[in-house]
Structure 1
Amino acid sequence: LRILCNYAFNYLNIHKIYCKTDNQYAARLYEKVGFSHEGTLHEHAFHYGKYIDKFVYGLLSRDYLKK
């Protein structure tokens, strides 16, 4: 994930990367790389017969490049 972020920000000049997940392990990984929790989309997706929340994470290039 760090390699992808590095490529996106340093070579493609992307301003922001965001992702949505309902997986707590993925959320921890995003936070470890530097993503911030930007919000929760309540009952956003219907999965296996029930509605589930999605967590939105974002990372700005200026925050990533500060590290």
Structure 2
Amino acid sequence: MVLIQLVGAAVMFSMEQLLKSQYGVLGLLFLTLFGIGVKARNTTCLFAGTVVLLLLMAQA
């Protein structure tokens, strides 16, 4: 269980660093919104975070 949490934290940290360098603060904000949507099982936050992240990736 602890190993899964450590791997998850490492993946989130690396994703944050990647988004911060390529997509700026807006990418980090919507990655956070995406993470909140996943943890809370809130489809509105999940959908909004996903759509904006995809738009940022398509723009770059």
Q: Do Structure 1 and Structure 2 share a fold, with TM-score over 0.5?
A: no
* Higher RCO (CA 8 Å, separation ≥ 6 residues): 1
**Larger Rg belongs to:** 1
Which structure is higher in helix share? Answer: 2
TM-score (norm 2): 0.32
TM-score (norm 1): 0.29
Which structure is higher in strand share? Answer: 1
